[in-house]
Amino acid sequence: MSAWIFNAFRAWFWRLAPKKPSPAWAAFLDGAKLLMLAWRGFADDLGSLRAAALTLYTLFSIVPMIAVVFGIAKGFGFDGATVRHLLGRGLNSDALAAQLIDFAGRLLESTQGELVAGIGIALLFWTVIGLIGNIEAAFNAIWKIAKGRTPARKFADYLAWMLLAPVVLITASSLIVFVKIRISWLMAELALPAFGTWLIVGALSFSPIVLMSGLFAVLFIVMPNTNISYRAGIIAGMVTGAAYSLSQWVYLSLQIGVSSYNAIYGSFAALPLFVVWLQGGWMIVLYGCELGFYIQHRRSDRNWVQPAGFSIHLNKLIALHVLRLIVKNLASLNTPLSAAQIAESLAIPVEIAEDLLSRLVAGRLIVELKSRDDGARTYLPAMDINALTIGAALTALERCGQNQWPDCRLEPAIVEAVAEFEKAMMASPCNRLLKDL
């Protein structure tokens, strides 16, 4: 019942478009449609399931990572209290930080001293690269990208992120903390009026949100294995940063209620709430990625159509039109087309174009090219356009994938009849070349 009500509301809202809307009302409608499209995409791409998988992998990775960080910190002269304090600020829970550091200490104690560095670094690389690889796979699924980075590119890119991200985050966080500590001295030196003081203090209170928004914007731009516009990444990063900061505030508020269970569960009382917050955080991140996808591919009002439940017949027709467009574009010696350009030309949602292009690539009807300059993906025919007919395209599409099953009881008469249909289609005068249509 609730799903029916939501779908009815969505259908009504989609038609809600006044003839001459004010700029504010038009912006509100576009923003609301973007949020609804992102929510639909989040559900269609199994966002909750992917967030649960990333949560589990994060839990597997966090203790080895802390163990290595703890060992390195001790090597640089930091004591356990300092590491515990920094980790507690990052996890928003001193009790949970103490528990994780205890686990990390046991891991270090169980390993021989001379092997800590080598095993720790290897474990750190394995856990971080595995986690980043899963994040990239989730983002690629949202952006309808069939292929991820090559192993060489993964190693180079992931290594760069592992080295640069902590430096940038620590530097930015330290700068914010330094400014907050020295704010009183700065106010006295500048002799600002009350309004100026209020303005600076208010701006500093938003610094964590700005920092998180910048982090998510960079993540949305560089993580998917495709070209992402700065506009889409920045807007999605701002929305995600605000939502993530709100989840942190809720998490801190709920920790007050958890304190009543400390007598029963001890420091483990914070773990269930931490897992729930971690799951919610990954859901927010994946939703933000969906939002960036629809921001980038929002071309015109016709792209707001809901492509739910396309029939096999309609999929065939659109696939033929996509293939015909690619063929005629090559025949005209034009620059290869991207998925967004194809969707714009055929007035179809870009996610439908991406899905059909993946099927055409799998059917070996087209090939995917990737620009070395901006990473944009374009498409060209994979066979001679003078032999690419409607029948050849339909046959390749229908036979893409597994065509036999040993235990399936097929009626020979039906198999022969379908084969005769295919022969008749290939011999039909309507089986024309796509470039001539």
- C-alpha span between 202 and 180 (Å, rounded): 11
CA atoms within 13 A on the CB side of 109: 6
Q: How high is the pLDDT of residue 98?
A: 63
Q: Is the pLDDT of residue 288 over 90?
A: yes
Q: Is 207 left (phi over 0), alpha (psi -120 to 50) or beta?
A: alpha
Q: How many CB atoms are located within 10 Å of the residue 249 CB?
A: 10
- C-alpha span between 328 and 346 (Å, rounded): 14
Q: How high is the pLDDT of residue 353?
A: 85
- Name residue 370's beta-bridge partners: 377
- C-alpha span between 151 and 57 (Å, rounded): 20
How far from the centroid of its chain's Cα atoms is residue 6's Cα?
A: 25
Q: How high is the pLDDT of residue 325?
A: 92
In this prediction, residues 84-108 reach a mean pLDDT of: 59
Q: How high is the pLDDT of residue 349?
A: 79
In this prediction, residues 260-287 reach a mean pLDDT of: 76
Q: Is the pLDDT of residue 87 over 60?
A: no
In this prediction, residues 372-383 reach a mean pLDDT of: 78
Reported confidence tier of residue 283, pLDDT bands at 50, 70, 90: very high
Most confident of 155-159, 325-329, 346-350, 354-358: 325-329
pTM: 0.72
Q: Is the pLDDT of residue 289 over 90?
A: yes
Residues whose CB falls within 8 Å of the CB of residue 139, separated by 6 or more in sequence, listed in order: 220, 223, 224, 289
CATH 3.40.50.2300 fits 305-401+410-436, yes or no: no
Structural domain spans, the chain: 34-296, 305-401+410-436
In this prediction, residues 402-427 reach a mean pLDDT of: 83
Give percent of the chain above pLDDT 90: 8
Average pLDDT in the chain: 76
List C-alpha distances in Å: 119 to 68, 86, 125, 129.
9, 24, 10, 15
In this prediction, residues 359-382 reach a mean pLDDT of: 81
